[in-house]
Chain A
Amino acid sequence: MFEKIWNNHVIVAEEGKPSILYIDLHLVHEVTSPQAFEGLRLSGRKVRRPDLTFATMDHNVPTKDRFNIADPISKQQVDTLTKNALEFGVKLYDLNTIDQGVVHVMGPELGLTHPGKTIVCGDSHTSTHGAFGALAFGIGTSEVEHVLATQCLQQAKPKTMEVRFVGKRPAGITAKDLILGLIAKYGTDFATGYVVEYTGEAIRSLSMEERMTVCNMSIEAGARAGMIAPDETTFNYLRGREYAPQGAEFDRAVERWKALRTDEGAAFDKVVEFDVDTLVPQVTWGTSPGMGTDITGSVPVPERLPTENERKAAAAALEYMGLKPGTPMTEIPIDYVFIGSCTNGRIEDLRAAASVAKGYKVNPNVTAIVVPGSGRVKLQAEKEGLDKIFVEAGFEWRDAGCSMCLAMNPDVLQPGQRCASTSNRNFEGRQGRGGRTHLVSPEMAAAAAIAGKFVDVRHWEFKSEVTA
């Protein structure tokens, strides 16, 4: 699949030089674009294809009282994007539009993400879009400028890796557990330099949104991009969306997309297998997404780890996280819960969390916020009454944005606070200086909010079903 998309987009390939690759879709947000637009201005260049460029604001946006950005530098960044979009003729989904949201939630939702496309954004989680069988990857600001100016990128051809999920996903195991489990087993750099294709029955049976959760965290394994071959699930998701082909054209597109499927016996540079039959819900304990374990497990004892570097890293992480070696994961009390982000801020995530929360109350020691991934997700959740379930249970119901995934807006952990988070990175300080992040699925996060500590959501007593 990768090979086909790559070959379809290479414009110039010269021996010993990176290829010039055409880019079909360029997504832009406020944090990584100001210097790129400024670069264009300084060199007197234009945006070559404003029709293939779409912008939104997400990182700095407050989730309460969103039009009032108190931090003047945040406000300047948001205003700069508005100004640049206007000046360069780029379509912007700003705070006044229902489509505004985390860039990787918004793109698929609008039907901008198609199988076979090359998609870039100045954001590492662009890998999310690979769930549709697109080649999607994050780029730096210099490359943002490059794509704005030329609609192309210079790229050396990456290697390919198949990550084969073997077995059947057990009940109660989420897409988040699949990807967290994979990274806990193989580490945060096993896929560096590779484009990963996820295969296997456990992947095929995932919904479109679940596939996005898996591909989203490809970058946490170091991968250049993560992809899943398109199938009926993909086509059904796209049908009827604003920027998807319409009518007969859609059917023609589906024929084209079907041809992207990986050929039987296609060769990958590397193959990795991951057993899902015995997978249990995952929780991270450290300051790197690979530092994770089973909810039935415990905080590791650094001295027992195999290499000196691992021992040092684990000891430093435990010190930062304020955890004692050997503590069972289910005995770690939490202060905060964040449900949202481009990993787990879509409607299915909110449904799953709501079904856990329904009929319960958030533990009095816990502050819990739910941040929909986009304005549309928020609207849909409200139509389904999910907001009421959350509010009744004591969660705060917020406006769309990145929020506490990286805490560039006012949603920030205080030093020492411990958070069960559905986001993708547990780096030191990610959610606020001194803040302690544990990555989990939306179900696990909701259950933790209620219990005040991590619990095994497989044994949760659901008060009643939440239906769509």
Chain B
Amino acid sequence: MQPFVKLTGLVAPVDRVNVDTDAIIPKQFLKRIERSGFGQFLFYEWRWDEKGNEIPEFSLNQQRYQGASVLISRANFGCGSSREHAPWAILDYGFRCVIAPSFADIFYNNCFKNGILPIKLSEEQVDDLFRRTEANEGYELTVDLENKTVTDKLGLSISFDLDEHRRQFLLQGLDDIGLTLKHEDAIAAYEAKRAAAGY
């Protein structure tokens, strides 16, 4: 997995609460058996109409947000299914960081497995980011995972909270299967104990 240390990038807004995984990546695109290539389908039904024409009002279709790597959205982002295709699509599209007031559990967890940093900020802080993004074309944020800060060039500086283990995990781009397998002896002992107890 690609580590996440520090990122400065263009911010794109998706101004909706409860953005669900069906919206992030509709099911007709879950049939692929690869991990890559999902970015073209991100927010598919918000980006393209039924005839395949671009919907110009949708933020990601606007010129000013092309090339964005930080996504800001509203509460309960990523609710719905466990599909890891959602973070795969977000990553493949070019986002490395998602900022929202809250995230659904499984989605939040899936982000870390893919080198995406989900940041929880307060409703007020997120509101402020929406306002700044709207007001300043080319608005960029710098996300620094070492120091757990989000800053912009206009003087904004916010620190955010993150579980220390998760932080290390992203900073180092660890392979967690490998980490678990280091405990092979403990796992085998547990299995032996259970087998001896008869279940």
Contact = CB atoms under 8 A, between A and B. Distances in A.
A139 interface: yes
Contacts of B109: 139-140, 143
Contacts of B96: none
A121 to B, nearest CB: 8
Interface string A138-153: 1111110110011110
Contact of B105 (A71, A126, A192): A192
Interface in B35-87: 35, 45, 50, 74-76, 79-84, 87
Contacts of A428: 20, 22-23, 45
A266 interface: no
A138 B106 contact: yes
A35 B35 contact: yes
A73 B113 contact: no
A152 B35 CA distance: 22
Interface string A11-40: 110001110101000000001101100100
Interface in B101-134: 102-106, 109-110, 113-114
Interface stretch (A74-82, A270-278, A449-457, A460-468): A74-82
Contacts, number: 163
Chain A contact residues (Cβ within 8 angstroms of B): what range?
35 or more
Interface stretch (A208-216, A322-330, A429-437): A429-437
A16 B165 contact: yes
Contacts of A350: none
B23 A34 contact: no
A143 B111 CA distance: 12
A12 to B, nearest CB: 5
Contacts of A59: 30
A32 B21 CA distance: 14
A224 B107 CA distance: 11
Contact of A192 (B80, B104, B179): B104
B54 to A, nearest CB: 16
A77 B31 CA distance: 6
Interface in A106-130: 122-124, 126
Contacts of B26: 429, 433
Given A139-B82, A433-B45, A146 B23 contact: no
A11 B193 CA distance: 11
Interface string A202-229: 0000000000000000000010100000
A20 B180 contact: yes
A134 interface: no
Given A152-B180, A188-B18, A222-B79, A140 B110 contact: yes
A142 B18 contact: no
Contacts of B18: 188-189, 288, 313
B153 to A, nearest CB: 28
A427 B105 CA distance: 18
Contacts of A149: 177, 180-181
B81 A142 contact: no
Interface in A415-430: 415, 425, 427-430
Contact of B82 (A80, A123, A256, A433): A123
Nearest to B1: A142
A80 B79 contact: no
Given A38-B33, A76-B31, A427-B20, A222 B82 contact: no
Contact of B80 (A43, A145, A427): A427
A159 to B, nearest CB: 11
Contacts of A434: 50
Interface string B154-197: 00000000011100000000001101110100110011000000
B21 to A, nearest CB: 8
B176 A11 contact: no
B75 A189 contact: yes
B27 A408 contact: yes
B187 A152 contact: yes
A22 B187 contact: yes
Contacts of A76: 31, 33
A102 to B, nearest CB: 14
Contact of B177 (A71, A126, A146, A192): A146
A394 B133 CA distance: 54
A461 B183 CA distance: 62
Contacts of A313: 16-18
B33 A80 contact: yes
Contacts of A71: 31
A141 B177 CA distance: 13
A316 interface: yes
A193 B104 CA distance: 8
A60 interface: yes
12 contacts: A17-B165, A22-B191, A31-B83, A142-B110, A150-B181, A152-B180, A189-B76, A192-B104, A222-B104, A313-B18, A425-B22, A429-B23
Q: Nearest 10 pairs between A and B by C-beta? A: A142-B113, A34-B33, A140-B110, A140-B84, A138-B82, A73-B31, A141-B84, A427-B22, A189-B76, A124-B82
Given A11-B187, A77-B33, A313-B17, 13 more contacts: A11-B190, A12-B183, A20-B186, A43-B177, A122-B82, A140-B109, A154-B179, A156-B165, A188-B76, A192-B104, A313-B16, A427-B80, A433-B45
